Chains A and B, each alone.
Chain A
Amino acid sequence: MSGIFSDFTLRTVAMGAAFLGITSGALGSFAVLRRQSLLGDSISHASLPGIVLAFILIGTKSSLVLLIGAAIAGWIATLFILSIIRNTRISSDGAQGVVLSVFFGLGLMLLTFVQSKPNASQAGLDKYLFGQAAALLPEDVRTAAIIGVITIICMIFFWKEFKLMSFDPVYGESLGFSARLTDIMITALIVISIVTGLQTVGVILMSSMLIAPAASARQWTNKLGAMVTLSAIFGAISGVLGATLSSLISNLPTGPTIILCLTSIFIISLLFAPDRGLISKLVKRYRNRFLFSLQKLLLDLYYLEEKHKGTSHAHDMKTISLIRNRQGNIHIALKTLQSRGWAEQTTAGLWKLTAEGHTEAIKIQNGGRNDS
């Protein structure tokens, strides 16, 4: 492994991807919680005309200039989206659909217009479409790092506002915080982080860098601080992992590989997260079902006991099953009752309640209280 990481290009790319993962992961938490996940998609698509216009107007391919153009276009697109939502009956998805596709189309038109000019020094502009992590330069990584640090400082500084406005904007307003200002802050940070990611993963996949780590982190915790941290960690891990994999395997583009790493993390989180995860939910459901069936069995034994007016009367499994017309095997359930000391098996292989089982059955019948 040490051999891999001494590779200069890989180290640059991996570091760039890691910084990007941290920034977008942390900020993505707010986007996801505020149900603005797809705003990132709109912003990143909409940044394309900004990139091309910056190139046309200033005539340089310096990434800083192009990214400033991208940020401005992304910002204008956001304003359009918000204005459409506020002023018309078109819902947020429609507004985003219109703005992202029209801006992207505009960008495409400009891009092809530039490309059709004879002095074609524009090569490399379309790397922003899909990203080209391998072309990352150390100064790009430095930019990403600086932006990451600024973002995180902003986040710490305005933590209370961000938190309040993500969960209860009305209450926040009543306390005198400006929802509008916080909105603008968060959106601006999201725009900036998207723009820095364009070089690495490209316009189309960038939104996923915001959504996937945050949606994964959400499954593991209910605390905002933990979620943001975890999300940043997921972002960083995927960045490094994706960059490494794509350099080890030929013809494996970096951006999509990072996204698939993120998706894998999300699937793992979805399945295995304690508490919220699908598997733990399934386990819980089966456990509850089993506990419920135990209680029912106990009551059945109690019912048989009552019928025969004596505690000494034991029954075979078939009889017990017949009470509720059970199809399945009750052997395991009976064994469990036995291990809890609530039922016992006579030498003839017949089952009956113990004294503790008897009191337990009465308890269940009276209060429906849970056992154990």
Chain B
Amino acid sequence: MIAEIIIVAILTSSACAIPGVFLVLRKTSLMSDAISHAVLPGIVIGFLLTHSLSSPLLFVGAVATGLLTVFLSESLIRTNLVKEDAAIGLVFPALFSIGVILVSRYTGDVHLDTDAVLLGELVFTPLDRISFMGLDLGPRTAWVMGLIFILNIGMLLFFFKELKLTTFDKGMAAAMGISPVLIQYILMISVSITTVGAFDAVGSILVVALMIAPAATAYLLTDNLKIMVLLSILIGALSSVAGFAFSWIIDASAAGAMAAALGLLFLLAFLFAPKRGIVSIKKRRQQQKIDFAVTMLTVHLLNHSEAKEAEVENREQHLIEHINWEERFAKTVLNKAVQNGMVNSEKGILYLTQMGKKTAQKAMMR
């Protein structure tokens, strides 16, 4: 059973990661938040019509309300009366409220909790199974998410060029005859379907984590779209397995732990990503500061290279007094300069090497 849960977790997170990449790149991440809340009334209406929780009509209803959210927010934005963020923030709470009210008024005696929709429970997914002619085919969610994963891959393969172009250069896409609006809606259909499919595994809010966090993490690690997609899937899968394992140990919500694991990976990338992490940015800035200071030092030494001044000006101690460097910083710079073979130090007096001279002259030419 644990194996099945892990398969469901991996399929779900992989399926979510694909549309997530484009949401992050298009700066519409919060559309997934909006859609994930707004599918509730669709699910409820589907349920009220069919009185079954596994009817495909629930799916249709949910996708329809998901798209309705996109449509309503975009219509609101187009009126120019509200800004984009406010438009999204107006539409989905309204739809979600309708959903909650429908649940509490009409489904009182059935097991359709808002909790269940919102929070999901990964561990229960193996209980709902599909069988064909008496043959047990495994958990329903695994099939649903597997299908959605394939659909998303299909979208990716089929529309990769269009998605890429409309994401990075809308004007160019339109000029080439690709409709950005059409691609936007294709993407939103994928987001809606994925959200609905994933909600009984992880709940509607954590779908947002599964979509956005892997993509955001991957975005910090690479500049290549294809690699970003692959990385997102990998990050999603990795953290869903890790999160599930952790939740199993401490006996807590698997979906919550998956989101927490995603958060941890994001935090690691945020701090330590090779090019874009905070630590590497800090290091790079420090490096640049020192490099610049070394150049300054060579210029200073060149300026005072006349024998008379040299003994006064070109002392180690003098750097601290004259250029106003702190002692530690001055030492670092000096070491670096000596290391690079630009400066020689003899009895506390500094001499430029041939290379140091060249560097100084080049810097002054600029």
- Give the CA-CA distance A259 to B83 in the complex, in Å: 19
- Contact A207 B30, CB 8 Å, known A253-B101, A259-B97, A263-B94: no
B252 and A112: CB pair below 8 A?
yes
- Give the CA-CA distance A205 to B108 in the complex, in Å: 21
- Contact A215 B220, CB 8 Å, known A97-B30, A108-B119: no
- Give the CA-CA distance A31 to B119 in the complex, in Å: 28
B206 and A130: CB pair below 8 A?
no
B266 and A102: CB pair below 8 A?
yes
A251 and B104: CB pair below 8 A?
yes
A212 and B259: CB pair below 8 A?
no
Which A residues touch B37, using CB under 8 A? 204
| Of B162-170, B207-215, B286-294, B317-325, the one touching chain A | B207-215
Residue of A nearest to B281 (CB): A87
Which B residues touch A207, using CB under 8 A? 89, 93
Q: How far is the CB of B29 from chain A (nearest CB, A)?
A: 4
- A211 interfacial by beta-carbon distance below 8 Å: yes
Counting chain B CB atoms within 10 Å of each CB, which of A84, A97, A219 scores highest? A97
| Binary CB contact string for chain A from 248 to 264 against chain B (1 if under 8 A, 0 otherwise) | 00011101110110010
Chain A-chain B contacts (Cβ-Cβ < 8 Å), number: 210
CB < 8 Å neighbour of A89 from B101, B118, B219: B219
B252 and A109: CB pair below 8 A?
yes
A96 and B209: CB pair below 8 A?
no
Which B residues touch A105, using CB under 8 A? 205-206, 209, 255-260, 262-263
CB < 8 Å neighbour of B83 from A32, A109, A257: A32
- Contact A215 B260, CB 8 Å, known A90-B216, A93-B29: no
B33 and A130: CB pair below 8 A?
no
CB < 8 Å neighbour of B259 from A89, A101, A266: A101
- A106 interfacial by beta-carbon distance below 8 Å: yes
- B307 interfacial by beta-carbon distance below 8 Å: no
A97 and B270: CB pair below 8 A?
no
Which A residues touch B114, using CB under 8 A? 130
A108 and B206: CB pair below 8 A?
yes
Q: How far is the CB of A215 from chain B (nearest CB, A)?
A: 5
B104 and A252: CB pair below 8 A?
yes
Q: How far is the CB of A110 from chain B (nearest CB, A)?
A: 7
- A98 interfacial by beta-carbon distance below 8 Å: yes
CB < 8 Å neighbour of B89 from A45, A102, A208, A260: A208
- B278 interfacial by beta-carbon distance below 8 Å: yes
| Binary CB contact string for chain B from 16 to 47 against chain A (1 if under 8 A, 0 otherwise) | 00000001100111101100010000000000
- A300 interfacial by beta-carbon distance below 8 Å: no
| Binary CB contact string for chain A from 80 to 98 against chain B (1 if under 8 A, 0 otherwise) | 0000100111110111111
- Name the 8 nearest CB pairs between A and B, nearest first: A105-B259, A109-B256, A102-B263, A108-B256, A101-B209, A256-B97, A208-B93, A97-B212
**Residue positions of B touching A, CB distance < 8 A:** 23-24, 27-30, 32-33, 37, 76, 79, 81-86, 88-90, 93-94, 96-98, 100-101, 104-105, 108, 114-115, 118-119, 203, 205-206, 208-209, 211-213, 215-216, 219-220, 247, 250-253, 255-260, 262-263, 266, 270, 276, 278, 281
**Residue positions of A touching B, CB distance < 8 A:** 32, 35-38, 40-41, 45, 84, 87-91, 93-98, 100-113, 116, 126, 129-130, 204-205, 207-208, 211-212, 214-215, 218-219, 251-253, 255-257, 259-260, 263, 266, 270, 276, 278
30 A-B pairs with CB atoms under 8 Å apart are A32-B82, A37-B83, A37-B86, A84-B270, A90-B24, A93-B30, A97-B211, A98-B29, A101-B212, A103-B263, A104-B205, A108-B206, A109-B257, A112-B251, A113-B250, A204-B93, A205-B96, A207-B93, A208-B90, A214-B86, A215-B82, A251-B105, A256-B97, A256-B100, A259-B93, A259-B94, A259-B97, A260-B94, A263-B94, A270-B79
